[in-house]
Amino acid sequence: MCESLSTQFDSIPEKRKEILEKITAYIQQRKDSNKPISLVYICTHNARRSFFGQIWAQTAASFYGIDNCTTYSGGMEVTRCHPNAINALQNQGFEAHRSSDSTNPLYEINYGGNDNLLCFSKLFNDSRNPAQDFAAIMVCSDAETNCPFIPEAALRISTTYYDPKEFDGTPLEEEKYLERANQIALECLYVFSNVN
């Protein structure tokens, strides 16, 4: 899927590319300085878009051979990784294994070979996320508004995406989740494709 999406960068609007290139510049600066690259994708509920960002940014880093990059996600509230988001990821070709049965289950998402991410809903400042020297990437307008300051973030940038949640329980549910997952995938790949 990465190869297919990487031929579609021309479909990203120029104004959107200007925002994404700020993330590329941050990654490039960290890479050039031989410093760890930590990206935290933040959304209000850490249930959908933030997981798409975390998983696709890690996948893009791996696809383009950008070492020393680790991606995370978090929210303003703890909820759960929504099943529709997991379904969209599986439709994109990821393997997802639910490894707990709690109300906030753990999912192991395989993004290639033996490489897995452990995904579950948590606050953006959870102890498992970096506490300093990271890029905070805001993927929803609520988080952008309600979390105007993130202590110790080296970069805070807004890349808001429409929420597929509004289509839950409708005939368009699967289509809209996949549409959003594909948009985030395309943009993450674009960011990493420009790192030298």
Question: What is the dihedral angle through the alpha carbons of 1, 17, 54, 195, rounded to the nearest 10 degrees?
Answer: 80
Q: Which domains does the chain have, with CATH numbers?
A: 2-193 (3.40.50.2300)
Global pTM? 0.95
Quickly count: other Cβ atoms within 10 Å of residue 35's Cβ: 12
What is the full per-residue pLDDT of the chain (196 aa) written as tens digits?
Answer: 999 999 999 999 999 999 999 999 999 999 999 999 999 999 999 999 999 999 999 999 999 999 999 999 999 899 999 999 999 999 999 999 998 889 999 999 999 888 999 999 999 999 999 999 999 999 987 766 666 568 789 999 999 999 999 999 999 999 999 999 999 999 999 999 999 9
CA distance 10 to 142: 29
CA distance 109 to 121: 14
- Which amino acid is present at 56? W
CA distance 41 to 36: 16
CA distance 66 to 20: 17
Query: What is the reported pLDDT for 99?
Result: 86
Work out whether strand 107-112 and strand 115-119 pair parallel, antiparallel, or are unpaired.
antiparallel
